[in-house]
Structure 1
Amino acid sequence: MPPRLLILAVAAFAIGVDGFVVAPILPELSRELGVSVAAAGQLITVFTLVYAIAAPVLTSLTGKADRKRLLVLTLLVFTAGNALSAVAPSYPVMMASRVIAALGAALYLPNASGAAVVLSPPERSGRALALVMGGLSAAGLIGVPFGTVVAQAVGPRGVFWMIVLLGLLASAGVAVFLPSVHLPGALSLRERLAMAARPNIAGLLVVTAVTLLGAYMVMAYVAPLLRETAGIAGRGLTLVMLVSGVAGMIGTAVAGRAIDAYGGRRVFAVAVGAAAVGTPLVLFAHNPVLTGVLIFAMGVASAGMVPAQQMRLMAAAPEAGTLLLSLNSSALYLGMSAGGGLGGALLATLGVTALPWCAAAVYLVALLVTLLPRRRAAALPAGRSGAMRT
């Protein structure tokens, strides 16, 4: 595993922890800041929305920049935002710190993904994307439980200090290990917006958002779901999340090779199909062992969703790869935000056991759209499209 790609994944891990770990420490944060839990929850909303809006805009404004310098700068901005979160004396200052952290994160992930592809041979580009995004996946599955333990030991602000440490290590690693990288395709803003409006591109972005909506409809409420269905709570929940994290890392390695061999479309279809079938089965496991086995299998199978979609976008318009990756990141975060909100509404009205069925229905929609006969764009741009599978 090349050190330069590994360090990109470590930084993605730090950003993922920052985006996901606030949810389980909301009660503690609300008490420290003197606001309601609902108000504290807006810290998550602000982070995801700023990320979603800023990613394509900032990527457009920095299209010609050297990616090494840009990545170091974005990581320092991200780290500064978390340092402010760690010492924020009031709710408004905490809100401002979340905006700063989101701005750094929004510019990092699409550029790191683009750099990973450029720094890898064409036949290994799927594995490179899977590795970087595997860091983000591992954050939700390993970093969040670990961050929760840190919060219980030293308080919620300790989680932000942990992220600061990761951010500093990652920025130093990028400065040392990453060579100078210039990505192709410095398009104007009008050309970039026109690119995003292409039916094939817009369709892929919608599928990304819908898929993450289904995933986070369940993941945001996995604690009450597993407590209800299998009696898993406390340390048992942490153990199950660790099992899921290990499965995700194994699945990421498998998915990268599969994308290079079979293309993003096939891998995505298999991954989302497995999620559609496996998610409702959690309701019938009824004990921790079977639940753990099922979650492990689903973690391996579904790890290819995000990198497969990234590869499909890169193949659809290679000359605008970084822009499309930034739009895909926006779609990811919009889907996660919508999934958490919709999941909360369903939890309040239908109960926790309805979530897996609703998520499965969302996955099936994404699968059916993916399997529809494809119409080729009228004029696909020249570039590396011939070397990439869609």
Structure 2
Amino acid sequence: MSATQTTATPKTRDGRGKFIPLLALGTFALGVDAYVLGGPVFATLLAKRSAKVVLGVALVVFTIGNALTALAPTLAVLLIARAVAGIGAGVYSPVAAATAAGLTTPERRGRALATVMGGLSIGTVIGVPVGMLLASHIGWRGTLWLITALGVVALIGIVWLPKIEVSPPPPLGQRVRALASGRVAGIVTVSLLGGIASLGLYTYLAEFLVDAAHTHQTVWAMWAWGAGGIIGSLLIGPIVDRTRRPFAAVTCILVLIVASQFVLPAAAHAAAAWAVVPLVAWGAAGWAVQVPQQHQLIAAQPEQPAVAVSLNSSAVYLGSGIGSALGGLVLGLGASPAALPYYTGALTVVALALHLTVVRGAVRRGVNADTTP
């Protein structure tokens, strides 16, 4: 259940062929309300419930939201229904990750987090192209009814789970207070910038390929990016567990994102097939970075892992919305879609610089404080 399950933000063109970012801005506003604001508020209302109850309620809300979307008679009702589904996803995702981390030992925490992220990446790589294919045959309402049915199946699975002794979702005040820590705020900001750069660019992947590779066949690119995401999200867990150096892992991953995004325009211009390699690398790195980021946040807030994970999830969701809006704005101002990876790559460089300065300094101060008698 991910903010990127429906990644292609609707866009329109005026008579001169420029993109009008109004719908992207609308998607941004909806995403902020549903994931960043609605999720924490509803999680606060459920703060005294067990993780199993919260997961069940979140799935019910998500499923109802999808059913209402399929029944929506007007655009306004559809947007409200998507917000309802977004609230369910915003509550479910961080609690699921925190639950997975809480059910394992610290030595296997990376694998647990990677399993959750692997499910999200698989849902994206399969869900987006398959959803497009299904919509062409049974319509978008039929596709939403299928998603609703899958939500019911998942809800049945939650009902049959044994009682899970994991901390309930944190109140909103705890989330805000956690940001007072320089280490936490730095890590969350890196996740925010990463979401803007990676998910924001993915929103406009089709437009980029049309401009850079001169092809309207773009589903293969979604498969390539998503396949990389599956590989990265599944492999990063064992790597973090084995090395026990999540900070170094984030450094390497951010460097890989920068390199792949800067190489992507030239590769796509040479031949569409050449773009597969940077797309796979970018997808793998973009999905893999969240596991060591969550690992670092849990280490910074060991007594409140749900707070840490929820902050990271909110940052990624917010980054996705901001990235979509900024991409639409940049294109609306006349920028070439083929140049978008240069903008997002530069933003990832800023995230890398922040990681190597602010986050690194906070980590060192924390280590020194722990070792001081």
Task: Give the TM-score taking structure 1 as reference length.
Answer: 0.83
Indicate if the aligned counterparts of 2:198 and 2:344 stay in contact, CA closer than 8 A.
Answer: yes
Distance 2:105 2:122 in 1: 25
Secondary structure of the 2:362 match is: coil
Q: Which amino acid aligns with 1:255?
A: I
Gaps of 5+ in 1: 1-11, 28-35
2:355 match: 370
User: Are 1:214 and 2:201 an aligned pair?
Assistant: no
The AA in structure 1 aligned to 2:331 is L
**Once the two structures are superposed, what CA deviation does each residue of 1:333-374 show, in whole Å capped at 9, x if it has no partner?**
110111011111222322112211111111111111112242
SS across alignment from 1:89: coil
Aligned ranges 1:1-390 → 2 under 5 Å: 12=1, 15-16=2-3, 19-21=5-7, 23=9, 38=22, 42=26, 45-176=29-160, 178-184=161-167, 190-234=173-217, 237-262=218-243, 263-285=245-267, 286-348=270-332, 349-372=334-357, 373-376=360-363
Instruction: Quickly say closer, same or farther: Cα 1:181–1:242, change in 2 above 3 A.
Output: same
SS at match of 1:375: helix
Shift of 1:322: 0.6
Instruction: Compute the displacement of 1:147 (Å).
Output: 1.1
C-alpha distance in structure 2 between counterparts of 1:114 and 1:186, whole Å? 9
Partner amino acid, structure 2, of 1:224: E
Q: What's the counterpart of residue 4 of structure 1?
A: none
Name the counterpart of 1:32: none
Relative to 1, partners in 2 of residues 1:22 and 1:85: Cα closer, same or farther, differing over 3 Å?
farther
Structure 2 stretches lacking a partner, 5+ long = 13-19
Which one has more relative contact order, counting CA pairs under 8 Å at least 6 apart?
2
Q: Distance in 2 between matches of 1:165 and 1:246?
A: 25
How many residues get paired?
357
For residue 254 of structure 1, report the CA deviation from its aligned partner.
1.2
Deviation by residue 1:236-265 (Cα, 9 ceiling, x = unmatched): x21221122222111112111112123321
Provide Cα deviations, 1:4-54, integer angstroms capped at 9, x if missing partner. xxxxxxxx3xx446x525636x78xxxxxxxx9956973563144321112
Further displaced range: 292-301 or 101-110: 292-301
Between the aligned partners of 1:368 and 1:41, the Cα distance in structure 2 is 28
1:213–1:336 contact (8 Å) kept in structure 2: yes
Deviations 1:215-239 (A, max 9, x none): 13311110011122223323xx212
Tell me how far apart the structure 2 counterparts of residues 187 and 308 of structure 1 sit (CA, whole Å).
21
